[in-house]
Structure 1
């Protein structure tokens, strides 16, 4: 018996090692996939990326594209990684910034849907729906503040440009001189590129983009499943330990958990049942949600280290995503005047939804699909 008991933990540890090796391989595959999108977009556009995305030349249209794409795909990590690849292939950064903002809004639909699981119990549903939608209102408020600043002054674009220039300087100290990640992924990216190039530039480029997008879906989905098995138990422990110990602790733990599970949707969805049960108050969960916004940016930053084409612009948009979320937390949560707006809005909506269940469904359809579609239609007229 003692020998059998000694063998079981070793088998469990061996299984965990295999899972971590698989996670590492999938991350490598993700980085390769982003590189393929950049190469494919560059091949297909033949230097005319701006014309291909003329439908999103209006910042509001770009915002809507980001919202709808992420709401449908249910992964801001996937959408932001695709955007990084497109920027590397020639999509102008100024067109990509509103898309990144939209991806932030779209990703919060997941935990809002999760909260519908509490719909049978009125008070429980009120707490759960409020906890889910506080993420929505924070992201919407962040867009209302930063999109006009971006349109007027290019604030985020300038900050992202400065940060990326630190890594892509003009001398031998540039990251170009020692980018081992790009070197490691080049054989895979170039092999697939050579195969698709036989179909011609445009058709081959489109095929390369589709292969890259498909691999991103596969990699992020599988990484999410593996990391949930490996980390979600620990993630819950961190959450129980950190929530309620102060805003900085909540933000930091939300960031760490999201980096571990590679999904802000997973992180924020974990807390919805806790809020519904009454284990935590909305004001305690709120900072944890903000940390999830920051943690989700790691995927795009990692992917941007190995793209082909305009690598500096790709890193710039990845940094923009990170800085956008950090500045949102600092400004909105840091200013008492703004801090409680998402909480008050979420509590009010939670009360309305608890009294009228159709209001909850109308909110989800209206915010994530109907309103963006109307905005896209209106913006196309200008």
Structure 2
């Protein structure tokens, strides 16, 4: 590459990093808008509780999170929206199953990526097992931790205690991150003033919908920018880290997902590599667990945009996401019997799918779309 080409590439990367910073700022503004708009439209925390009374059934909350994530193909988007809703008054216990559901919904992306190998039986079997091991791990995690949460409040209690380390009792603002709200408040205020001309609750609805649109824009653009900046390096990390033990695999999955801000991207990168036989399923498995942990950074980042009486709740639901994924990794991967369930299920299911291709389409449509619709109908 010539000196001129290098200079252009360097200038281009600088512009992209500036754009990344702006998109992070836009994400923080968007979360603040959703929280303010939801609070305005619902008439405060009590109104928010009544509005989401239908979702107090844990199964309904789980289905909403999974269905929404499967539709938008981004757990980062859905968890950021949930943080905004909690900031607006959505109760944390209602939001917890939604967060779990987002973990299930995000796995549809790498499952779809594996279908790119469907024309070659051996490649497809390897790729499909690498994709679905993530699915089955997350399904097992929810099967264990949702009942545990319902009966003991495990995640609620741990996240509440962790929140106490970061949120001041007096000001209820996140310690050390008080600069976030002053940076975002003026922009949120401009939109809020703009919508005050709308009648009744419609101003709040418009503000929340604008925030929702900005979250989509910021997450999509952030993903594209970071993919250009980081994916080449991410592939190098993959080749160096995967296959050097489970802890290295989990760490590399976490770091890569933080870098590209998308567990869908990081896990989808390894599916073709598995299909081509470069990595074994046992080597890829820990990496996907790290991706679960790494994707929690977006919700934690979103929580820094919240200040006031709901700051502790917003941070708590973000910490629920982190606690859930770390706890599931420690428990399931730490116990050999549980660790082998996703592996064996993924292998056997991939063998079936490689022989009968219709199983693949039935699985994706049934698990991520038909089943949630049926459960919503039955529990409504």
Relative to structure 1, the CA distance from residue 137 to residue 55 in structure 2 (aligned partners, 3 Å threshold; closer, same or farther) is same
How far the C-alpha of 1:115 sits from its partner, in A, is 0.5
Q: How does 1:138-149 map to 2 (within 5 A)?
A: 138-149=137-148
TM-score under structure 1 length normalisation = 0.96
Relative to structure 1, the CA distance from residue 7 to residue 348 in structure 2 (aligned partners, 3 Å threshold; closer, same or farther) is same
Relative to structure 1, the CA distance from residue 339 to residue 77 in structure 2 (aligned partners, 3 Å threshold; closer, same or farther) is same
Deviations 1:172-192 (A, max 9, x none): 796368610111111111111
CA distance, structure 2, for counterparts of residue 85 and residue 315 of structure 1: 10
2:303: which partner in 1?
304
CA distance, structure 1, for counterparts of residue 20 and residue 321 of structure 2: 24
- 1:344 equivalent to 2:344? Answer yes
Native 8 Å contact 1:39 1:308 kept in 2: no
How far the C-alpha of 1:201 sits from its partner, in A, is 4.5
Q: How does 1:188-207 map to 2 (within 5 A)?
A: 188-207=187-206
CA distance, structure 1, for counterparts of residue 281 and residue 260 of structure 2: 22
Gaps of 5+ in 2: none
Native 8 Å contact 2:174 2:307 kept in 1: no
1:371: which partner in 2?
371
1:31: which partner in 2?
28
CA distance, structure 2, for counterparts of residue 233 and residue 100 of structure 1: 30
How far the C-alpha of 1:118 sits from its partner, in A, is 0.4
Q: Which has the larger displacement, 241-250 or 170-179?
A: 170-179
Deviations 1:72-129 (A, max 9, x none): 0000000000000000000000000000000000000000001011000011111110
Q: How does 1:88-99 map to 2 (within 5 A)?
A: 88-99=87-98
1:161: which partner in 2?
160
1:261: which partner in 2?
260
CA distance, structure 2, for counterparts of residue 146 and residue 12 of structure 1: 47
- 1:17 equivalent to 2:18? Answer no
Q: How does 1:80-229 map to 2 (within 5 A)?
A: 80-171=79-170, 175=174, 179-229=178-228
CA distance, structure 2, for counterparts of residue 330 and residue 273 of structure 1: 27
CA distance, structure 2, for counterparts of residue 372 and residue 12 of structure 1: 46
Native 8 Å contact 1:38 1:308 kept in 2: no
Instruction: Please give the secondary structure, in 2, of the residue aligned with 1:340.
Output: helix
CA distance, structure 2, for counterparts of residue 174 and residue 27 of structure 1: 20
Deviations 1:187-212 (A, max 9, x none): 11111111112214410000001100
How far the C-alpha of 1:308 sits from its partner, in A, is 4.6
Number of residues of Structure 1 aligned to a counterpart in Structure 2: 377
